[in-house]
Amino acid sequence: MMVAERKEQGFVFTGWHMLGVMVMFFGTIITVNLIMAWNASHSWSGLVVPNSYVASQEFNEKVAAAKAFAASGIEGSLAIEGGNVTYRVVDAKGAPVVADDVSAVFKRPVDERDDFTLPLQAAGAGLFTAERAIATGQWVVDISTKNDGKKVFHQTVRIVVAGGAK
């Protein structure tokens, strides 16, 4: 009678190994998707305009107004230093623009939680100021200049504040 020699085998890939591979593969994908979904939901409001239909109807009107302001030659310059916000507005000849109501709406590009409106007070001819510490980071500042209730100038500026309030 012959004795069969048993040869010891090396590694054998079993069903348990396959289960481990599948759990690691899909676990990685699910984990990455959950992290991305959490970051998306905590970093952007998703709200661009409250009503997209109304915004589309107003678009041409807003473009025409922006072109009129650009053609007027009026220019504004915004400066933020420490806790002081300064806005200077001059006409095409460099003369100060007369205004009785200037307000700046500070908006974060991707989140509305930090948005605020800052009324600026006249501090001289064509110069408007306010005191407020502005948080560090990117801001879109929408500045509206009015005189006797009529909009004289409108400007939107994207800025980066470094070393602002925390």
pTM of the predicted model as reported, rounded to 2 decimal places? 0.67
Helices (DSSP H) in the chain: which residue ranges?
Answer: 15-43, 52-72
Question: CATH for 74-161, among 3.20.20.70, 2.60.40.10, 1.10.10.10, 3.90.950.10?
Answer: 2.60.40.10
The 10s digit of each residue's pLDDT in 34-74 is: 999 998 877 766 666 778 898 889 999 988 888 888 888 88
End-to-end Cα, the chain, rounded Å? 88
Going by C-alpha positions, the residue among 51, 41, 56 that lies closest to residue 113 is: 41
143 neighbors 159 (Cβ within 8 angstroms): no
97 neighbors 152 (Cβ within 8 angstroms): yes
Give me the tens of pLDDT residue by residue for the chain, a chain 166 residues long.
566 677 777 899 999 999 999 999 999 999 999 999 998 877 766 666 778 898 889 999 988 888 888 888 889 999 998 889 999 999 888 899 888 899 999 998 877 788 899 999 999 888 999 999 998 889 999 999 999 989 889 999 999 988 755 4
Domain boundaries, the chain: 74-161
Question: What span, in angstroms and rounded, lies between the C-alpha atoms of 65 and 67?
Answer: 5
Tokens describing residue 125: 């001819």
